[in-house]
Amino acid sequence: MFLKDKSCLLCGGKTDYKDVILRSGENSVVYSCIQCNFEFFDYNNESALQSDKLDTTRLLSSGLNIPSIKLDFENGMRQSQSYIKQFICESINKERILEIGCSTGYFLKLLSQLEADPYGLEINESRAQFVRDELGFPCYTSLDTIEEDRLQFQKIFMFYTLEYIPDPVKYLTRLIKILEPGGELIAVTPNLDDILKNDWNVPAFEDFFYEKCSICYYSISALKVLGNKVKETFDVDIKITTEQHYSLFNHVNWLLHEQPSTTGIVGGDNFPRKIIKSFGGHRPRLASKFKTLIKNIDMDYKKLIEEADLGNRIILQIKKNSIVQ
């Protein structure tokens, strides 16, 4: 039932609401907090997250056709290489690491190749079973069971999972509790202030932005509120930044064609490489200068966006010190 007057899930403030079209093409209503710039949907998404149809719908609406769990695993392995390079900067030998929303376990597999001790949590039972049977890693379908087993972790990762959590304050507090002192939680989530959504005039992207089952959408200010809620229980250090993963050429593609570029990889963006590769090699000196120009333009564009905190994704890093009594 739709309620016009609804308090913000994060700060308890007043909300407004608007009609939106989801990436799947369905109509919905999203609440927007006036105070902390947080948006959320009012529905239970658990059964949909458990369904095998969810990923198929999500991928097809993004222009991708990945019909099997095995192909999804192979695709995810390519995508997750960038997460390893970005977030694993030191030895993780024997570290117990948990990924929330691990899907088919591709990130866990890469962690194991670095001699870590990976664990997964995946609400979709068929994917969790794949992780257990095909990869041999422990994979839970409920945080309750992890808590019952009294497991503690040196690192916890959440890649595009935080937006699925209906009670983020309570859930994040539970995760910090199973994090060892000195451990770190890293979450990557879409940025509600994405420059392509709010500053470029591309209505089709706003319809693409909101995904089925993604209940919560965060800005930097909203994540600061969430972080302060966690600080009420734990002594933690928090860092929040935005990152522009997609290129200028991806944005130009949206402007011209009003649809995502299809690369065959979830989150893939090969526009700069594609343009550089297509430039002929019969004038090598000119080709070299042209390639450098394209790379520099793209780097400067991303840097400008990140300095304004308008990157397409937000990175939340929480380092645990000790429990506040």
DSSP 37-94: --EE--S--HHHHHSTHHHHHHHHHTT----SHHHHHHHHHHHHHHHHHHH--S--TT
Q: Which two tokens stand for residue 37?
A: 């710039």
Q: How confident is the model at residue 181 (pLDDT cuts 50, 70, 90)?
A: very high
Residue 222 pLDDT > 90 = yes
| C-alpha to C-alpha distance for 240 and 220, rounded to whole angstroms | 7
Q: What is the pLDDT of residues 182-211, one digit of tens each?
A: 999 999 999 999 999 999 989 999 889 998
Q: What is the pLDDT of residues 280-294, one digit of tens each?
A: 667 778 878 888 888
Residue with tokens 């509600």: 192
Predicted pLDDT at 270: 59
Predicted pLDDT at 10: 92
Instruction: Return the ∠ at Cα 264 (arms to 260 and 269), rounded to 5°.
Output: 55
Phi then psi for 90, rounded to 5 degrees?
Answer: -145, 175
What are the structural domains, with CATH classification, of the chain?
A: 45-245+307-323 (3.40.50.150), 248-306 (no CATH)
Predicted pLDDT at 233: 93
Q: What is the pLDDT of residues 134-146, one digit of tens each?
A: 999 999 999 999 9
| C-alpha to C-alpha distance for 255 and 258, rounded to whole angstroms | 6
| C-alpha to C-alpha distance for 29 and 40, rounded to whole angstroms | 9
Separation in Å, CA 99 to CA 26, 156, 160, 222: 30, 6, 11, 23
